């Protein structure tokens, strides 16, 4: 017989007896996955959708809901199913823009179009007008944005993944598409696009379940929003605070610190039977610190496991190094660094490209990549050789190196907190960051520390 906690029982009773949106604020390791599957069982649903913004979360959902009538799809995959574009999906880059405007303006056009796609807005003209309000060529910039969105609609321009979300959103609004299921479950609702919440609202399902936790909302830099805040007036909210992952000692340390720096009502209860899976996580804030730790592990003759492809993890430092040599970075995302290098060559204020980047670009990723390259250079380490060795390594599945963003949702017996995470957390606690940056940094620290079951090292708790 399955025994539920009082918090779980209260939630189950409510969702069984009521229709509409139910939100569950589930602390780290508090049985969110277990309860979502039990919900499907207790409700005896015949059809349903489980979705999330993050592909890795949905991949886990496939195993979680095996043997049930729940379809597990990312929102992009769900949108693709209904939109079915004829042209290949591609990234919209500055090279796609034909107008003779400078790189900064092209970057703004790209960002404005993308933020419209992930917004709750249903009128692009109003959205673009507001976005360029005060710009000396507001009307012209608005018309450029509209041109390329209409080009995607008319299949003259390759669509982006986020275009698919907006297209599905508008189809649901206009009722040209309907999605009918018994239940829709949106996981990690604390970190979703605004358009995702609109799709969640518009799917025709009597039961709607949003899972996550406000204190784990850490993707603000991706233009994501917190569904708990947006839906609070139209949903019933329940909390799970009993962790089945973290030891009582670790949970107490986390709770005491977070009550002091983040929220005095923060509640997190540990267990006497924490996770003991023999696995270790070295948890970082940045990809640059992953590369740093990779180099140190290789120097010690030790292996590791990565949760993302080496090409993604090394992308920024490789791009910076290529650009510094006047070469085009292999990833289109960083192609703009070629233009930045030309700008550097045309000025005389900064003597090196690295100094120019850290002084002129307000980009933490690039700044961290520069610092990494400087450290490797001092130690006489070749980045390309390090990248090659990383790709050839035989993984050690018991030792993982990952950012807090990628390891979110996973659990380990032992966690080491990297110095870059500590630095960011201490800056937040000291008041050196903006309010929003500080909150995200503190939440990242909670997420990182709460990956640990039995052992937590190098943590400022």
Q: What is the pLDDT of residues 266-288, one digit of tens each?
A: 999 999 999 999 999 999 999 99
In contact, 319 and 387? CB cutoff 8 Å: no
Mean residue pLDDT across the chain = 94
What are the tens digits of pLDDT across the range 3-16?
889 999 999 999 99
| pLDDT value of residue 331 | 82
- pLDDT tier at 223 (50, 70, 90 boundaries)? confident
* pLDDT value for 253: 98
Sorting pLDDT into bands at 50, 70 and 90, what band is 29? very high
Give the mean pLDDT of 387-400. 97
pLDDT digits (tens, 9 = 90+) for 76-129: 999 999 888 899 999 998 889 999 988 789 989 999 999 999 999 999 999 999
Distance in angstroms (rounded) separating the CA atoms of residues 193 and 51: 13
Distance CA 38, CA 32 (A): 10
Nearest Cα to Cα of residue 211 among 345, 376, 30, 451: 30
Domain limits, the chain: 18-82+168-240, 94-157, 280-457
Angstrom distance (rounded) from CA 332 to CA 353:
20
Output the CA angle 435-439-441, nearest 5 degrees: 115
Helix, strand or coil, per DSSP, at residue 319: helix
Q: What is the pLDDT of residues 130-162, one digit of tens each?
A: 999 999 999 999 999 999 999 999 999 999 999
pTM for the whole structure? 0.83
Query: Which CATH number is 18-82+168-240 given?
Result: 3.40.50.300
User: What integer is the mean pLDDT of 412-441?
Assistant: 95
């Amino acid at each position: 017989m399955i025994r539920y906690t009082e918090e779980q029982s209260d939630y189950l009773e409510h969702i069984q007896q009521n229709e509409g949106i139910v939100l569950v604020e589930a602390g780290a390791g508090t049985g969110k996955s277990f309860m979502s599957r039990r919900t499907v069982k207790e409700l005896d649903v015949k059809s349903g959708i489980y979705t999330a913004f993050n592909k890795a979360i949905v991949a886990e959902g496939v195993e979680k809901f095996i043997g049930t009538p729940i379809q597990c799809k990312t929102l992009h995959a769900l949108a693709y199913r209904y939109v079915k574009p004829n042209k290949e999906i591609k990234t919209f880059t500055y090279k796609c823009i034909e107008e003779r405007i400078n790189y900064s303006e092209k970057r703004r056009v790209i960002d404005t179009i993308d933020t419209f796609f992930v917004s709750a807005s249903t009128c692009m003209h109003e959205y673009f007008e507001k976005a360029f309000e005060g710009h000396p060529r507001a009307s012209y910039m608005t018309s450029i944005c509209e041109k390329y969105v209409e080009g995607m609609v008319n299949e003259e321009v390759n669509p982006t993944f986020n275009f698919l979300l907006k297209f599905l959103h508008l189809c649901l609004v206009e009722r040209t598409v309907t999605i009918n299921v018994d239940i829709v479950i949106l996981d990690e609702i604390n970190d979703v696009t605004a358009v995702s919440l609109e799709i969640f609202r518009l799917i025709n399902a009597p039961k709607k379940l949003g899972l996550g936790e406000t204190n784990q909302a850490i993707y603000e830099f991706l233009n994501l929003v917190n569904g708990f805040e947006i839906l609070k007036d139209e949903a019933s909210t329940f909390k799970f605070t009993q962790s089945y992952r973290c030891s009582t000692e670790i949970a107490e340390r986390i709770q005491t610190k977070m009550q002091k720096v983040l929220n005095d009502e923060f509640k997190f209860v540990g267990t006497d039977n924490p996770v003991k899976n023999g696995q270790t996580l070295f948890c970082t804030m940045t990809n640059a610190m992953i590369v740093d730790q990779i180099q140190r592990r290789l120097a010690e003759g030790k292996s590791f496991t990565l949760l993302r492809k080496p090409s993604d993890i090394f992308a920024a430092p490789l791009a910076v190094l290529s650009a510094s040599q006047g070469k085009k970075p292999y990833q289109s995302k960083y192609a703009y660094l070629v233009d930045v290098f030309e700008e550097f060559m045309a000025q005389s204020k900064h003597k090196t490209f690295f100094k120019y980047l850290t002084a002129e670009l307000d980009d933490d990723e690039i700044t961290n990549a520069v610092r990494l390259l400087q450290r490797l250079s001092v130690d006489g380490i070749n980045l390309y050789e390090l990248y090659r060795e990383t790709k050839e390594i035989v993984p050690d599945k018991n030792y993982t190196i990952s950012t807090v963003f990628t390891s979110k949702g996973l659990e380990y017996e032992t966690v080491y907190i990297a110095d870059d995470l500590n630095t960011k957390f201490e800056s937040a606690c000291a008041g050196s960051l903006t309010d929003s940056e500080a909150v995200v940094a503190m939440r990242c620290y909670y997420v990182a520390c709460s990956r640990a079951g039995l052992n937590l090292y190098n943590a400022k708790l």
